[in-house]
Amino acid sequence: MSQKVTVAAAHLTPVYMDAQATVEKTIEYIARAAEKDVEIIVFPESFIPGFPLWPAISAPIYNHGLFKRFAAQSLRVPGPEILKICAAARDVGVIVSLGISEATDHSVGCLWNSNLLIGSDGSILNHHRKLVPTFFEKMIWANGDGAGLMVSETAIGRIGALICGENTNPLARYAMIAQGEQIHISSYPPIWPTHEPSANDRYDLASAIRIRAGAHSFEAKVFNLVAAARVDHTAFNVLGEFGDEALRIIKESPKGVSMIIGPNGLPIAEARADNDQLLIETIDLEECVVPKQFHDVVGYYNRFDVFNLTVNRRSMSPAEFEGMEARTIDFEQLEASVMETDSGPL
């Protein structure tokens, strides 16, 4: 029996370092996706308020102002901005995967690189914080925990998500596969500068994405929805304070790629163009079944008497409080929580 799902990867640029404007753009593209009968839309890593590129191009002693600005534009979960996006998802009945920089009431300077899976009813199905910030990201974000290593059961299938370099972590990926994942979400930045762009050993983000995404799809026998962001003049205006040489590196560094990949590890569609677009395809989850006959790494193609994996999904916090709410929040609770904070309109 066919299990067809229309999916979209959002190959977009945020309004860099402007959370409110990017929230509005997110809502606009959720509506556009719904007009195309999309059932799930995937936004890039740290889409709100944009991916922090300055630690790659400038010494930490010159970055304090931008860190303060980034922290001020990072979102709380729950919060009024998240409520608006959840309401937009509910209004059109679309599942939304959203990358954000997350702030917390526990601290004015602690941030996480987070991904939210928002249900078609506006509820938060899963809230994942990237386990380990990669390379220069350590200057911005804290380590996450295992609480979000979840695969969510939805009307369109079982959905899991990992952020950027987590898709290189075989244990994190196996944790997703072991929960019966059918649709995997991979979110990425627009570029990831590690070397002089002309160097032979530069990091080619598009190639890295293709390798990682294809490998996970092939090993897990899942569809992989890959969303990478773009950079535009809004980012150049912010990062221009570091001078022409820094801007040259940003503009010439290899760009990311958005993709939809089948359970055979081969791409169905790809977007790398320098313009905002939704990459839309209809997939059939029935295609995940037959490949499991050959390699089912969480079934008969494993030796559970030889290998064992334990995943700690305990939510970490600076203190333990009785009655703490779980990260799964239905829309009514989310709306009530935001109203109680009296944080005002966006």
Alpha helices in 93-232 (DSSP H): 170-177, 205-220
C-alpha distances (whole Å) from 346 to each of 69, 195, 206, 249, 332 are: 17, 39, 35, 34, 19
Q: For the range 289-296, what are the long-range contacts, defined as Cβ-Cβ under 8 Å and sequence gap of 24 or more? A: 291/221, 291/263, 291/264, 292/221, 295/219, 295/221, 296/221
Q: How far is CA 76 from the centre of its chain?
A: 16
Q: Which amino acid is at 34?
A: A
Core vs surface per residue 289-307: b (16+ CB within 10 A) or e:
eebbeeeebbeeeeeeeee
Distance CA 161, CA 181 (A): 9
DSSP 277-330: EEEEEEEEGGGGTGGGGT--TTTTTS-TTT-------PPP-SS--TTPPPS-B-
The catalytic residue positions are 45, 130, 164
